[in-house]
């Protein structure tokens, strides 16, 4: 059984994906070829933004967003402590300082209340945060209804880290359309993944996106040998764009299939586990399906799954503020919810190609585990 079944996905779409790849091999424009521009237009249309820029990976996308907002040494950026390391890493890479806030105990996304507390505490110490990075964890958008309001009241830029969130939704707004600038990842295991690395930056701000497009090619000006700023080498490969174009065509159907799987999991497991909570006005793209045992510990369930050949994983076992790289960093708010969740959460296989027999095997194994 696969945790995320990319093999079956490919086999069911092999002819179309191979055709897309062969077209790139035939025209030979392997870097920033015509498929990249085509993908950027379709991605922007899909999420509802004016602009999209394809880049080399999701981490670069976040760093480029910070650089475009002119965030650097001496600046403070607030973010959630319950995320993959890249969310905080990019803050440090540009020379800024991360300040971690806690998560909502039901959605595992940034807590608006914790965010307010951190801003208040920072202000009392004479520190004005310049930006915040909110993460759309496990496919579910963060609480932008409140986060964007809080940020506006305090003159703080909002960066949406939708590395796991592509396809998620709040009311009629899709993930990658929130904040001043948004990013996503096309790492193979993400909701929309390529066959290597890739990412994208989104915004409705033309001036910001002009800077991003310059920064991704070494800070180029009118041409690649006219460098007007210090940038990066972060271009999306044409073959990856070609693959993503085909996978975007089937993406919505995959989200529907994963939603059905999530509903089935939750219906059968909710008595024994805390199952994912999706607010009524939101939609998840189900990058992960995560559980917390009501009794016992996660290891006994993960061991039972392993014995039956069922893969599982932990996202995330150590909050960012507990990472060795951030030892000694000052904290301004209580982070105990993240610490509690990280000690108990684990993830089940989640993909659009899971058979009924496989799903039942997962459920039966968990319910029979002692």
Instruction: List the single range of 56-60, 222-226, 302-306 with lowest mean pLDDT.
Output: 222-226
Same domain, 345 and 220: no
State whether 112 and 192 are in the same domain.
yes
Same domain for 190 and 94, yes or no, is yes
Is the domain of 153 the same as that of 74? yes
Asked whether residue 57 carries a pLDDT value surpassing 90, the answer given is yes
CATH number of the domain enclosing 134: 3.40.640.10
Q: What confidence tens digit (pLDDT) does each residue in 174-208 have?
A: 999 999 999 999 999 999 999 999 999 999 999 99
Top pLDDT among 223 and 217 is at: 217
Within this chain, do residues 145 and 159 fall inside the same structural domain, yes or no?
Answer: yes
Q: Is residue 281 packed enough to be buried (19+ CB in 10 Å), middle (13-18) or exposed (0-12)?
A: exposed
Confidence of residue 136 (pLDDT cuts 50, 70, 90): very high
* 226/187 same-domain check: yes
Number of helices and strands in the chain (H, E):
12, 13
Which strand (E) or helix (H) includes residue 274? strand 273-274
Q: How far apart are the first and last CA of the chain?
A: 22
257 and 362 share a domain?
Answer: yes
Does some domain include residue 114? yes
Which pLDDT score is estimated for 177?
98
Percent of the chain with pLDDT over 70: 100
Question: For residue 49, is it within any domain?
Answer: yes
117 falls within a domain = yes
Pair (72, 96) in one structural domain: yes
Q: What is the mean pLDDT of residues 145-164?
A: 98
Same domain, 281 and 266: yes
Q: Looking at the structure, do residues 50 and 21 belong to the same domain, yes or no?
A: yes
- Tell me the mean pLDDT in the region 126-150: 98
At 293, which helix (H) or strand (E)? strand 289-293
Pairwise CA distance, residues 51 & 312, whole Å: 37
Decide which of 218, 246, 274 is a domain's last residue: 246
**Residue 223 pLDDT:** 85
Q: Of 216, 246, 276, at which residue does a domain stop?
A: 246
**Co-location of 267 and 145 in the same domain:** no
Cα gap 350→164, rounded to integer Å: 13
- Dump pLDDT digits (tens) for 249-293: 999 999 999 999 999 999 999 999 999 999 999 999 999 999 999
Residue 40 has pLDDT above 80, yes or no: yes
Sheet containing 282-283: give its strands across.
Answer: 173-174, 169-170, 282-283
Mean pLDDT, all residues of the chain = 97
What's the angle, vertex CA 145, arms to CA 131 and CA 82, rounded to 5? 55
Residues 6 or more apart in contact with residue 92 via CB below 8 angstroms: 98, 325
Does 314 lie in the same domain as 217?
no
pLDDT at 370: 72
How do residues 170-179 score in pLDDT, each as one tens digit?
A: 999 999 999 9
- Residue 154 has a pLDDT of 98
Chain CA centroid to CA 164, Å: 3
Q: What is the CATH number of the domain that holds 335?
A: 3.90.1150.10
Residue 154 in domain? yes
Structural domain count of the chain = 2
Among 192, 222, 246, identify where a domain stops. Answer: 246
Q: Is the pLDDT of residue 76 over 80?
A: yes
pLDDT at 224: 81
Segments forming the whole domain that contains residue 258: 252-368
Q: Is residue 1 a part of any domain in this protein?
A: no
What mean pLDDT do residues 121-146 have? 98
pLDDT at 315: 97
Local structure of 316: helix, strand or coil: coil
């Amino acid at each position: 059984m696969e945790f995320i079944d990319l093999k079956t996905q490919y086999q069911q779409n092999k002819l179309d994906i191979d055709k897309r790849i062969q077209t790139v091999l035939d025209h030979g424009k392997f870097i920033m070829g015509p498929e990249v521009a085509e993908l950027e237009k379709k991605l922007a249309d899909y999420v509802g933004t004016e602009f999209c820029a394809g880049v080399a990976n999701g981490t670069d996308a976040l760093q480029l967003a910070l650089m475009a907002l002119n965030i650097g040494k001496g600046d403070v950026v607030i973010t959630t402590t319950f995320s993959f390391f890249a969310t905080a890493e990019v803050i440090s890479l540009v020379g800024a300082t991360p300040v971690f806030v806690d998560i909502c105990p039901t959605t595992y996304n940034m807590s608006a209340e914790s965010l307010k507390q951190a801003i208040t505490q920072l202000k009392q110490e004479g520190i004005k945060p310049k930006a915040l990075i909110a993460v759309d964890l496990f496919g579910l958008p963060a609480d932008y209804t409140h986060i964007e309001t809080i940020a506006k009241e305090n003159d703080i830029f909002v960066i949406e880290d939708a590395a796991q969130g592509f396809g998620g939704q709040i009311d009629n707004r899709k993930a990658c359309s929130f904040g001043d600038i948004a990013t996503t990842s096309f790492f193979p295991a993400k909701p929309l993944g390529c066959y290597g690395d890739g990412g994208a930056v989104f915004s409705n701000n033309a001036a910001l996106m002009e800077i991003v497009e310059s920064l991704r090619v070494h800070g180029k000006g009118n041409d690649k040998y006219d460098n007007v700023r210090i940038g990066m080498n972060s271009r999306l490969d044409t073959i990856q764009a070609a693959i993503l174009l085909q996978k975007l065509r089937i993406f919505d159907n995959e989200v529907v299939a994963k939603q059905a799987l999530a509903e089935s999991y939750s219906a059968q497991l909710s008595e024994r586990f805390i199952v994912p909570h999706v607010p009524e006005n939101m939609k998840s793209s189900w990058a992960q399906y995560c559980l917390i045992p009501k009794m016992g510990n996660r290891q006994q369930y993960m061991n039972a799954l392993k014995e039956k050949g069922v893969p599982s994983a932990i996202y995330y076992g150590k909050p960012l503020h507990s990472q060795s790289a951030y030892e000694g960093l000052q904290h301004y708010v209580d982070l105990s919810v993240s610490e509690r969740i990280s000690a108990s959460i684990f993830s089940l296989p989640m993909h659009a190609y899971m058979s009924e027999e496989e799903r039942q095997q997962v459920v039966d194994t968990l319910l029979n585990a002692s």
